[in-house]
Structure 1
Amino acid sequence: MKVDVESLIENYFEGVSYDEMFQDNRGVKDTWKNLYETLKSLGTEELISRQKEIDWNLAENGITYNVYNDPNGLNRPWSLNLVPFIMHKNEWNKVEKGLQQRATLLDLVVKDIYGDRQLLKKGIIPHEVVFGHRGFLRQCDGIEINTHKYLSVYAADLSRGPDGRMWVVNDRAQAPSGMGYSLENRTIAGRVLPNIYRNIHVNGQDQFFNDFNKLLVNAAPANKTNPTVVVLTPGPHNETYFEHAYLASYYGFPLVRGSDLVVRDGKLWMKSLKALKQVDVVYRRVDDVFVDPLELREDSYLGVAGLLDVVRRKNVSILNPIGVGIIENSGLIPFMPAIAKYFLGEKLILPQIATWWCGQKKELDHVLSDISKLVIKRIDKSNRESIVFTEFLNEKELEALKDKIKSRPHLYVAQEKIKFSTVPNLVKGKLEPRNMVCRAFTIAKDKGYTVMSGGLVRVSSTKENVRVSNQRGGTSKDFCIIDESSIKGKVPRVGNTNTTVVAAGLNDLPSLTAENLYWAGRYIGRALVTSRHLRMVLNQMVNNEEVINLDQNTKLSILLRSVTQLTNTYPGFVGDEKEPAVSNLKDELISVIVDQDKVGSLAHTLSMFSNSYYSIRNLWSTDMWRVFDSIHQIWDPIINEDIKLLSYKKLIKVLDKLITRLIAFMGLIEESILVDQGLLLYFIGLNLERVILNVSNFQSMLTVVTEDYIEYEILEAMLHSHESLNIYRYSYRSYININSVISLILLDTKYARSLTYLVRRLKKDIAHLPHSKVKGALQDYEKPIFEAFSKLRLASVTDLVDVSEENRYLRYKLNKLLTELNVLLYATSKAISDTYFNHVDDQSQLSRQKFS
């Protein structure tokens, strides 16, 4: 259905001063005509449908942006608006040259500041602008690097100024984000809007990402063949963690955190399961002061102690080098024209916002006299909350701000308040104007710089909002360069001359990734076993809702106590010397399911599983994300619901769906990675947890001797929660009895769910760990599992079911065996962790340094 113009742009021009798509007379600009006509031809319903399809793709692919202290959760879905921002190639060529000039210039500035400092000696930059900036790191002074460019990756925030040209708003160099989001935006938009992108002749970005791959590989010291390149991330709670994992997965580089790396003998090493592996190139997404707790911020857990020393020895290349944060300095802006003239003998191609540095008397007086018309910033890169829009301050607040500036004027700049251009956003089937900022990306190549065709556009959350921020709910757009002469087709991703194809293995697996794989296996195993057991108990409770006291029903007493023993949520239904067993059975049972703060509860287990999953999401397939997301769609409403409104039947339905998706997730894991790439760790964690929990279950339900009819019901419930009831009936075709149950689920060597089978599988998998292959005696982690398997193989059903005359209510030998197995299994767990997952100890500096 087509839509008339008035409907599409109704109320669009209210309060708009300069718009990217429309002229002052409301006519459409030439560059945008093709896109605008295409949007009109699609019609309102189709536009809304396409936007929903984009939103669905973002959610299905698990594209997130972490928002700190968000009441809706840490991982907010990424937002992409259907209408792209477009620029013609003719205009973009000028912007591209300006970006290349600016990157070249800032590269020279960084080299000079940490080198000869001619800019300071000649008075081109005041000393206070450099030494008063928190980004200047004295520890980096005089450091030589391996790459021919100091600034290898540079991003600039651009917006169109009142003169119609693109202006530089911010410089980003420490760990500029957005490349991965830009790539994913283009992928999804191109998939949902293929005809639109073909009609408007959008330039591709593939060559840029090929060049970035080459940049990282070729940065290795001494042009090393097959260098080890890693992506250093602060971790899953960082706002752009999705992008870190996405780029690591896209290029096939290990995603590491500081605890995965260690310095030895003046070199940087990655800790893997097999051995230390030397790291040659680090693409860092950690800010400068956090990368080395030995020389910089000692309270940082994000970096590697001694990393700066390795850089000084030129044994590793870090992109971008530590210390480049000095150019994220608004105090440099007033002096950039003079810097360009000094270094290049040129004028700046890209204009900047008019900026006054308050460290000079004339400029300070101007700022103080006209402060109500300006925007005040610190020269440091700081949170957006510290940017002061003075038009919103009252007289008292203005005076307080003046005093603050006068006390330390060299730390502040004032900038002209400019109303930048707006760009159309599709909102409920209509176009609305939004303030925008474009982020363009530049990387070093050969002797110059290459610029991504397009980039990432962010727009404000509402028409009235002048601030553009993802943390404040802004949305993104694809940034497209239009070129009618562009060649169609994708540029294939290519390798590099100094790399050869080498299959990754355990030696390429960072130790923290290995640990998260191991614990992902344990948590998903725990979630599945716990869910099945709780579902069985809930079904029993539905049939016995009149029971309000454990003493009234022996069977329920055993089953509910088994819940506490399985989940370790003591005192629970068991009680102890200090606190008796709970009296409100329903409240306790539901809390064991949905209370995230109760350690051992199902909700807590799923939360821990989510943490492990996010930490290694670069390893998982898109299908796994979809299943993982469906788990949360089922589970999140339940844990946020009033506990008084939850019934047994409702929880049973939720557990049914949860169990199905957990099983689906487990099945997909084997399709994502190879055994030697980490799947082995997942299997060990999964089976170890299943064995530990099964031992706990068997001990709480099979060792107690009761009346025959109660024992029958307990055994039936046990087989049901163990998913073995049908197998039992098919195999034995007899009345359920303790002998046959023990034979099947404890001692059967061919039944995949039996304890003996799982322990043997565990023993076999553990034998494939790197240290297990050393000839000679068994490793410490192999001995207890070997002993556990031996005890099971030597056990006999007759002995285990025997009841002594002294204690007719306990199967003593069965209880003794299960207790011994429990000890051996925990010994195995501890030994594996001690051998493979002990990370670096805390570091402390001999002399304290203060970093804001």
Structure 2
Amino acid sequence: MQSQQQSTVGPPTGPSVAPPTGTDNLFAGYQAEAGRFDELTSPDGRRRPGWDKFSQLLNTMGASEFTRRWEHSQHLIYENGVSYSAYGDPEDNARPWDLDALPMLIDEAEWKHVSAGIAQRAEVLQLTLGDLLGPQRLIKDGVLPAELLFGHPGFRLPFHSQTPPGGSYLPFYAADLGRSPDGRWWVLADRTEAPSGIGFALENRVVISRMLPDVFRSMNVQRLAPFFIQFKEKVRELSPHGEENPRIAIYTRGPKHENYFEDAYLARYLGYTLVEGDDLAIRENRVWLKTLDGLLPIHVLVRRPNSEACDPLEFSDESTLGVAGLLNSSRDGEVSVINPLGSGLVESPAFMAFLPRLCRFFLNQDPILPGVATWWCGEAPSLDRVLSNPQQLVVSQAYRSRGTGYDADKQLNSVLPSELADRIRSHPTRFVAQERLKLSTVPTWDQGTAGTAHMVLRSFAVATGDSYSVLPGGLARTSDASSPPPLAIPASKGSKDAWVLSSQPVDHVTLLSTKEEAIEIRRTATELPSRVADNIFWLGRQIERADASARQLRTFVLRLTSEMAVGPTAVPTGLLRALASQGQIEPDFALEDIRHHMPQLEEALPDLVFDREQVGSIRSVLNNMFRTASLVRDRLSTDSWRVLVRIDQTFCVPKDGPLDLTDLLSMLNRLVVQLAAIEGMCLESMTRSHVFRFLELGRRLERALQTVGLLQSCLIDSPPPSSEVLDALLEIADSVMTYRSRYRANLQLSAVVDLLLTDESNPRSIAYQLLTVEKVSKQLPGEDYPAGYLPHERLILSMVHAVRMVDVMGTCEAYSVGEQQRLAELLETLDQDLQNLSRELSLRYLVHAGPARRMSSTAEKRVS
């Protein structure tokens, strides 16, 4: 029985071409690569359909205007913080999303043929999954070798005999496509586990359509929204018990994984809840979302982790992504998982060798789209062919799970032919060989000129009725044309928006529902997982910590520069102690006897500020702030996220030379304003939900702690404060104008302490923070409260009472004659109680259970 060879079924050799008209400055000097199909031009230099009109529209716009718009679009990507670890990235590090200014154009008639082929392939793979996870007729009838299935590491006993809702084994599918030199589209790989990239395709469309709105409309580009409407409808249909308004969640692998931006982006766009494994629990075989208000049922999970990472009870106990019992809940029809666990079985390259057989077996048809010629070495004729001509083929692992195998395949093709042949002979079922495909080239925009790149297009399909609907276009990924790829699918370096051009004007379609369905009017949303509340709480604390650090450092730098310059030796010791207590400078700088032996602080300061490894430096605080924000980016407004991204990417050492104190002061001023913008958005734009409450609790608690610490550093175990110290305290606490409006320039310790400690009308005072915490804490969720006060409530009441009972005048008079004990004890008590309050809030609302552990040994079992 022979493995698949290249199918000859397909459309004519590429679309027809049209001659260029008018001026063509955009593609002046463009050079197509010989021996490959070029998306822009035919071998005789004539434009392919759509490109002539496109180039005319851009030339009418002019190069300078096009460049200006592109720079603005890149800034939008930059502000949105779009990042990704591209397929095959050996470092697996997230990097800024690289989008090309020029879209890829596809003719409508050509795409109709491609769509039919994608839909056919998805249907065949769904039927294959249903059979292999069920009756296994393919094995019994000899269509597939038994070794192909039972030797597959992804074929596991727990996946067998599933009956997903609606019998949909593959509701969502993607395929990687490439063109052969004659212009035919080939399938390079199937994506059935948890296809990724559709969110990036949507982001590409948003950016490019905003950049070229007139061109976009004039070209009659088919819209993406109808596909997402069909996707949402299919997901809703798959709710296991037919709920009218099911609760749907995107089950993400978390912010450490390459597709987290896409997960958060899709959750916001589709209106789904973004969850991680720790947010979910299994009770009575149903899936529940753990929220502050209790457990809420989840009906549908759009999953992102690989199947084996989803349930530590059944599979690997090394993964922290899974939910113990998820597979059993899915198997019993209590939750619908998209795609069902085990669907990645047919994603392995080995199955590509058998697609023509499978297509004829199930549909009695030949494939509409050919697949890249593939030979599975587990069959003797295919093995002989591969061993007789290994240098003309690309050898890879026959079984590969999503997101793995690139490095291994690359290494495999770099060994000597004799060694490769020995490896194949020793374990032939583990290898496949594929024909080397010369991918087509597309025009790219680089520094004002048009260059070339190789292209792979990922197309997406969703089950609808008895067939599949295909997204018009998809995610076009580009790779460097200067070096030939070692594998069938090269590592992508950039992406393009893919435009399918219609012959008629395209209707505007929106994702917003037009159904007049009854809904219950609400004032709050209860779906806040404890994990999210924890991260929101700490985000609030880190925002305030960054603000306090920036204000203290700015005040210090001001006293070293401009008209207020007094030199580092004249800077009040209390201010140095405050910086040292935060970790912004070495503690020795705050000690009189040692300071003179230290390096000049003015020279050392810039390095200390931007040291990412130094705990307490502003840069490390900002790192923590941005990292925490990325964990909850689906809960933040677009504007808030953009400000956070701008802070993270601009508060760094400039590349154009050394940084002096004047530059540092300007950066600190900008940072304070940006942090104030975030705080303003929180106050003015966030509904008073649990998200706002925990953010506010974190902010207020941290602001109180920072003010307590500032007063301790400047007033305790120090001589009576000079006017310079009092002025610095007011400046750091942003209370200078309030003080001057009350007392003019008469700086007195009692008035400063009153304003920063006990004045309940001052938003910067400790008293104000405590009252706000008291107010917000009363709105936190709770069931049946016990008699009396809870521990955190007692702490709050105790601190409010202690501050209100302070005799400011008496305490400051005692301080002025050297009796600092009363003030020191008060501040020490507040410091301890505030830290205890943070701990009590965490214990009551924010503590999570540890990761689940596997209790069975089914991870090693195979169906026999």
**Which residue identity is paired with 1:323?**
G
The worse-fitting range, judged by mean Cα deviation, of 186-195 and 738-747 is 186-195
**1:583 equivalenced with 2:598 (yes/no):** yes
Structure 1 residue 29: deviation in Å? 2.4
Any conservation in 1 of the 2:290–2:296 contact (CA below 8 Å)?
Answer: yes
Relative to structure 1, is the Cα distance of residues 384 and 501 closer, same or farther in structure 2, using a 3 angstrom cutoff? farther
Moved more, 815-824 or 835-844: 835-844
| Residue 839 (structure 1) shift | 1.5
Aligned to 1:244: 263
- Trace 1:43-192 onto structure 2 (pairs within 5 A): 43-66=62-85, 75-192=94-211
Hey, what does 1:654 align to over in structure 2? 667
User: Is the CA contact 2:376–2:432 (under 8 Å) kept in the aligned structure 1?
Assistant: yes
Q: Which of 791, 799, 809 is equivalent to 1:798? A: 809
For 1:446 and 1:7, the matched residues in 2 are separated by 44
CA contact (8 A) 2:585 2:605 kept: no
Distance (whole Å) between structure 2 residues aligned to residue 632 and residue 471 of structure 1: 31
Change (3 A) 1:546 1:793: closer
Aligned to 1:766: 777
CA distance in 1 between counterparts of 2:225 and 2:88 reads 36
Match status 1:426 vs 2:435 = no
**Who is 1:477 aligned against?**
496
1:521-540 → structure 2 map (5 Å cutoff):
521-540=540-559
Return the alpha-carbon distance in structure 2 between the equivalents of residues 415 and 711 of structure 1: 80
Query: Counterparts of 1:155-304 in structure 2 under 5 Å?
Result: 155-304=174-323
* Contact map agreement 1:218 1:498 (CA 8 A) in 2: no
Does the 8 A contact of 2:394 with 2:488 survive in 1?
A: no
116 and 646 in structure 1: CA distance in 2 versus 1, 3 angstrom threshold: same
Kept in 2: contact 1:530–1:567 (CA 8 A): no
Change in CA separation of 1:671 and 1:397 when aligned onto 2, cut-off 3 Å: farther
TM-score normalised by the chain length of structure 2:
0.90
Calculate the aligned-residue CA RMSD, in Å: 3.1
How much identity, in percent, do the aligned residues show?
Answer: 31
Q: Which moved more, 1:763-772 or 1:684-693?
A: 763-772
Instruction: Tell me, yes or no, if structure 1 residue 844 matches structure 2 residue 853.
Output: yes
The equivalent of 1:637 in structure 2 is 653
Q: 1:356–1:13: structure 2 CA closer, same or farther, 3 Å change rule?
A: same
1:833 aligns with 842
Matching residue of 1:697: 710
Shift of 1:133: 2.7
Q: Distance in 1 between matches of 2:567 and 2:766?
A: 35
Contact 1:3 1:44 in 2 (8 A): no
Pick closer, same or farther for the CA change 1:7–1:89 going to 2, 3 Å.
closer
**Residue in 1 that maps onto 2:750:** 739
Q: Residues 81 and 664 of structure 1: is their aligned pair in 2 closer, same or farther, counting only changes over 3 Å?
A: same
1:618 corresponds to which residue? 634
The Cα shift of 1:817 comes to 0.9
Shift of 1:312: 2.2
Cα gap change, 1:561 to 1:57, in 2 (>3 Å): closer
**Compared CA separation, residues 545 and 167, structure 1 to 2 (3 A):** same
CA distance in 2 between partners of 1:467 and 1:237 (Å) = 28
Residues 87, 492 of structure 2: 8 Å contact kept: no
In the alignment, which residue of structure 1 is the partner of 2:644? 628
Paired residue secondary structure (1:723): coil
Equivalent of 1:822, from 808, 831, 835?
Answer: 831
Q: How does 1:717-728 map to 2 (within 5 A)?
A: 717-728=728-739
Cα–Cα, structure 1 residues 76 and 670, in superposed 2: closer, same or farther, change >3 Å? farther
Shift of 1:769: 0.5
Shift of 1:144: 2.0
The answer (yes or no) to whether the contact 2:26–2:58 under 8 Å persists in 1 is no
Tell me if the contact between 1:566 and 1:693 (Cα under 8 Å) persists in the aligned partners. Answer: no
- Who is 1:370 aligned against? 389
Change (3 A) 1:585 1:33: closer
Deviations 1:248-285 (A, max 9, x none): 11122111111111222211111111111111111111
How many aligned residue pairs are there?
A: 834
1:386-420 deviation line (CA, Å, top 9, x unaligned): 33498x84xx6222222222221111100011212
Q: What is residue 723 of structure 2 aligned with on the other side?
A: 712
The C-alpha deviation readout for 1:107-127, integer Å capped at 9, x for no partner, is: 111111111111122221122
The answer to whether the Cα contact below 8 Å between 1:273 and 1:506 also exists between their aligned partners in 2 is no
The Cα of 1:247 is off from its aligned counterpart by 0.7
CA gap 1:486/1:590 in 2 versus in 1, 3 angstroms: closer
Distance in 2 (alpha carbons) for counterparts of 1:783 and 1:81: 58
Residue 445 of structure 1, CA deviation: 1.6
Query: Relative contact order: is structure 1 or structure 2 higher (C-alpha 8 Å, sep ≥ 6)?
Result: 2
Post-superposition offset of 1:719: 0.9
CA distance in 2, matches of 1:539, 1:37: 56
Amino acid corresponding to residue 700 of structure 1 in structure 2: S
> Which shifted more, 108-117 or 613-622?
613-622
Contact residue 534 and residue 563 of structure 1 kept, 8 A? yes
Q: Distance in 1 between matches of 2:626 and 2:860?
A: 35
In structure 2, C-alpha distance between the alignment counterparts of 1:181 and 1:499, rounded to whole Å: 33
Question: CA 1:580 to 1:836, structure 2 compared with 1: closer, same or farther past 3 Å?
Answer: farther
| In 1: Cα distance, 2:432 partner to 2:589 partner | 64
Question: Which residue of 516, 524, 528 maps to 2:535?
Answer: 516
Specify the code of the residue in structure 1 equivalent to 2:34: G
**CA deviation profile, 1:302-327 (whole Å, cap 9, x unmatched):** 12122112212221111111111111
| Structure 1 residue 516, shift from structure 2 partner | 1.6
Q: How many angstroms apart in 1 are the aligned matches of 2:119 and 2:596?
A: 71
Question: Secondary structure at the residue paired with 2:289?
Answer: strand
Gaps of 5+ in 2: 1-20
CA distance 1:239–1:733, shift in 2 (3 Å): same
Q: Distance in 2 between matches of 1:267 and 1:570?
A: 54
Q: CA 1:811–1:635 in 2, change beyond 3 Å: closer, same or farther?
A: same
Q: Secondary structure at the match of 1:387?
A: helix
Q: Alignment partner for residue 757 of structure 1, among 768, 781, 787?
A: 768
Q: Deviations over 1:445-500 (max 9, x none)?
A: 22322111221111113444547999956221111222213433234522679883
Counterpart of 1:634, as a letter, is T
Tell me which residue corresponds to 1:596. 612
Once residues 177 and 304 of structure 1 are traced to their aligned partners in structure 2, the CA distance between those partners, rounded to angstroms, is 21
Partner SS state of residue 413, structure 1: strand
**Are 1:8 and 2:30 counterparts?**
no
Instruction: Show the counterpart of 1:557.
Output: 573
What residue number does 1:606 align with?
622
TM-score w.r.t. length of structure 1: 0.91
Q: Is the 8 A contact 1:703 1:810 kept in 2?
A: no
